[in-house]
Each structure stands twice: as structure tokens, then as C-alpha cells.
Amino acid sequence: MRLVTDLFDPEPVRWGLRGDPWVWRAMCEQLTGLALPPSVGEVERLLIATFDRVVKCDLATETAPWVFREEFARGSGMSDGSVHLEMWRSELLPTLVDRARSRLDG
């Protein structure tokens, strides 16, 4: 059985802000044990809904380029706890969706 969490491995080598890797890991944890949906559209909707729930931010309507979330602060510098919404829109979520497409097409 293909799992949604398979999409999260490996982690990206580039992040937007310091909170991004923690969001990645929190999303993966939230999706543990869930089978990969049968279509790319369903996967994308699931990932966006999970992001929105984890970050407590509607990625579709939030206009700020980034948000701060205390739960992702680990004492690691100036952007600690900050989630780069633009990076999630342009690279991180598309990476997960592309990985799903590869698995579903292959």
C-alpha cells in the first residue's frame, strides 16, 4: 500500500524560513498511516487541507508572504517559527504533488 507519508521522504534541501521544516514534519505526522488517494487532485486537496490545519492559515486566502507560529519556534535564529507561505505555494507543496503524480502514474 502506498502511503501519503511516502511523499515526504526525502526532505527538501532548501527551505524558505526556519519554521518550514517543522511544518513539513508536522504534516507528515498528521498523515501517518493514510493511504495515498487515487488521484493527484485528491492528494493536492488533502495536502492543502493538512497545511491549513497544521499552520492554522488558509493558504488560498492569506496574503502575507509568511506567518509566525510559536509551535514551530525552536530557538534557532531570526526567522525561527516563521512559515514562508510563498515557498509552500511555489515549491514545497508542488514538490509533494509532483511526487504523488510520479507514484500514481508509475
pLDDT tens digits along 47-58: 999 999 999 999
Are 2 and 103 in contact, with CB atoms under 8 Å apart? yes
Q: Write down the H helix ranges in the chain.
A: 20-30, 40-55, 85-87, 93-105
Q: Which residues pair with 66 in a beta bridge?
A: 84
Q: pLDDT per residue over 21-79, tens digit each?
A: 999 999 999 999 999 999 999 999 999 999 999 999 999 999 999 999 988 887 666 67
Print the domain residue range for 67. Answer: 4-105
Which of 53, 79, 77 lies closest to 65 in space, CA to CA? 79
Q: Per the confidence metrics, is the pTM higher than 0.95?
A: no
Q: How many domains does the chain have?
A: 1
Secondary structure of residue 69 in the 3-state scheme: coil
